A and B are shown apart, each in its own frame.
Chain A
Amino acid sequence: MEKPKVAFFDFAGCEGDQLQVINLEEDLLKVVDAVDIVCFREAMKGHSDDYDIAFIEGSITRRSDENRLKEIRKNAKVLVALGSCASLGGINLLKNFQEQENVRQFVYGDMAHQYETYPARPLSAVVPVDINIHGCPINRNEFAMVFKALLLGKNPDIPNYPVCVDCKIAENVCVFKIDMTCLGPVTRAGCGACCVTEGSFCWGCRGLVDNPNADSEREILAEYGLSLRDILSKFRLYTGFSEVAK
């Protein structure tokens, strides 16, 4: 049987998710054995438009990038958004809450007109996306799980329960009990609550679960002393696109 052909692409992002794929270390060799990687600019010379699965990192921040994405969509049987920038819009969304012209001028001054930009958005705002691998960065084990599921023709099992569940499994102390606030109660799990485990709190990088109890989360955050502005600010770090879309 012919091996499936796989391509990696990126738009506006840090390439940290493709790095997580390289960080599979010895297991990367198994990935390379199982498929034909026909395009992976960060790691390979050469390019082909003949592929079955496209993994795409980064968000769309320029109108001129839309055609390239649509072209990839046309070529790929399965399109996978790799990481929060691609799946949610990610950290790039922060600029959406400022006036776009002001953003350009702040960075590029008098030459601002030369630098094309528009409000950042996830891939799904431009083309249909088949699978989202969330996270900033992605969890490489989750990538391997999705990759295997795709090869077997199955639907990958992406959790739809909150990070609190992962936190219980990791036996973490709830950060609300130690003077921090957290987006874990409404954020999609699957990360093993890695930020709480490492001494931080959940920043919401995997986006909201499908039916988040947002009102309850707002109440908890307010109870712990956050103003409405603080709460919005926390949600806007990764999940701001849904807010704009509404």
Chain B
Amino acid sequence: MSSNKIIKINHVTRVEGHGNIEIKIKDGIVEQCRWEVVEAPRFFEAMVRGRKWDELAHITSRICGICSIGHTLTSLKATEAAMRIEVSEQTEKARRILMHAENMQSHILHLGYLVLPDLLGVPSVVPLASTHREQVLLIIRLHRLANEMSDLWGGRTVHPQRPVVGGFAKWPSMQEIETLRQRLEDALPEMETLTSLFRDLAPGFPQFIRETEYIALTHPDEYALYDGNIASTDGGTCSVDKYKEITNEYLVPHSTAKFTRHKRDSYMVGALARFKLNYQHFLPRAKETARTLDLLPTNCNPFMNSIAQLVEVVHSIEDSIRLIDDLLKNGMKDEKPSFSVRAGRGIGAVEVPRGLLFHEYEYNKNGECIWSNCIIPTNQNHANIQNDLEAFVPQIKDCSKEEIELQVEMLVRAYDPCISCSTHCIFI
């Protein structure tokens, strides 16, 4: 086999958005190894200038179809922080459920449609529809449940209408919530089946360990998704208003997306980072799932991000049941948001499926946005993907060209990147 290889993957498949990988191996030495983001830049931060407070969530939701609920909630939190609007406990609980719904939807999509084909050696989920019909139907059922849960709390799965500044424009009925509760209970054994499938296939993930800095929200009382402080595995916690000290965005010539770094060259956000920083707050079935899958908080294999997502789905189901029980016990009120519009600056931070998301807005006294900044999880992962590639490719450099291509694509896919989200970040 020749020890010279040039690999150019134009548009990595089964990921959201457009990214390329370029690798040059000469005389058995890796000479170049590059992760390029080639997505068309979209300029959201400039686009929202002059728009009204009640349009910001609608517009920024369009940053990403897959995490539109996460963008909506982060945007609402930023606007509420800017205008010092307090939301009710009922709203906070409902938003947590909505965040769980998106987490489940996005993770199941990633695990079932994007990752599973690699583990079974096929190019997509399509051939699995005949060879692994039962498993595919199981994945579709779980995906549909998550989407219908989003419909119920958000109005729609992609770009939700119900969540608005100050609360919700429409609430589900008690009966609808009770039906959902039962469906979530029924999904727990389904998740056990999915867990067994991935337990059997997980040895197919490359054994690649590279310790890095991991960053996620943490909260004293819960597995932090909707709320918390920013924590790092390298030590330290800070409030979300200091987010720029963590993200430190910078530009690189081969990418339309910005990169970030904190204490080291790069850091990782997402399910694995949350898993490591929030492990003690997993609910019992999620912990049991982690044990079944043999995933420990000390794990530093980026491919295990997908497995951490699987554990999170179980946690999201359990926690949604707990939140629904609370709402049923206290009774749901048909609340309408009430507040006054004022000038101010505010930050929203939420753990969305791919990691930590920040929106920051400044409003004038008419409630028009005059400045904004959005920092997307995938931006924060780009530098870490690059560093992983640099460490991983020398390990597999003697494999065939096709095998290297497959494995580096799998590495990028493990991050579940949302590239179109990440191509418009600002720091000025």
**Which residues of A approach B to under 8 Å, CB–CB?**
10-20, 22-23, 25-26, 28-29, 32, 37, 40-46, 58, 61-62, 65, 90-92, 94-95, 98, 102-104, 106-109, 111, 114-115, 117, 136-137, 194-195, 197-200, 203, 233, 237
Contacts and interface: CB of A to CB of B under 8 A. Distances in A.
Interface stretch (B153-161, B215-223, B290-298): B153-161
Contacts of B52: 233
B137 interface: yes
A193 B399 CA distance: 55
The 3 closest A-B pairs by CB, nearest first: A16-B65, A199-B169, A198-B155
Nearest to A92: B42
B47 A43 contact: no
B109 A22 contact: yes
B13 A44 contact: yes
Interface of B: 11, 13-17, 39-43, 45-52, 55, 58-59, 62-66, 68, 109, 113-114, 117, 123-126, 129, 136-137, 140, 143-144, 147, 155-159, 161-162, 164, 168-170, 251, 253, 256, 409, 420-421, 424-428
Given A62-B40, A114-B253, A198-B170, A44 B65 contact: no
Contact of B41 (A18, A19, A107, A200): A107
Given A91-B47, A92-B42, A115 B256 contact: yes
Contacts of B253: 114
A22 B136 CA distance: 13
B68 A200 contact: no
11 contacts: A12-B420, A14-B63, A16-B159, A19-B157, A28-B140, A91-B62, A109-B426, A194-B156, A199-B170, A200-B161, A237-B58
A32 B125 CA distance: 10
Contacts of A91: 47, 59, 62
A19 B66 contact: yes
A32 B126 contact: yes
Contact of B169 (A43, A137, A198): A198
A22 B156 CA distance: 15
A168 B426 CA distance: 44
Given A37-B126, A200-B161, A12 B13 contact: no
B46 A16 contact: no
A16 B60 CA distance: 13
Given A15-B65, A43-B124, A199 B161 contact: yes
A9 B51 CA distance: 30
Given A42-B16, A44-B124, A91-B47, A14 B68 contact: yes
Nearest to A196: B161
Interface centre among A14, A23, A103, A195 (most CB of B within 10 A): A14
A15 B123 contact: no
B76 to A, nearest CB: 13
Contacts of B170: 198-199
Contacts of A23: 143, 147, 157-158
Contacts of B123: 44-46
Contact of A106 (B11, B46, B51, B155): B46
A158 B50 CA distance: 34
A184 B142 CA distance: 35
Contact of A15 (B17, B113, B114, B168): B17
B113 A14 contact: no
Contacts of A45: 13-14, 117, 123-124, 409
B65 A14 contact: yes
A19 B110 CA distance: 12
A23 B158 CA distance: 10
A92 to B, nearest CB: 6
Given A22-B113, A46-B123, A94-B59, A117 B43 contact: yes
Interface centre among A22, A107, A195 (most CB of B within 10 A): A107
A149 to B, nearest CB: 23
B40 A11 contact: yes
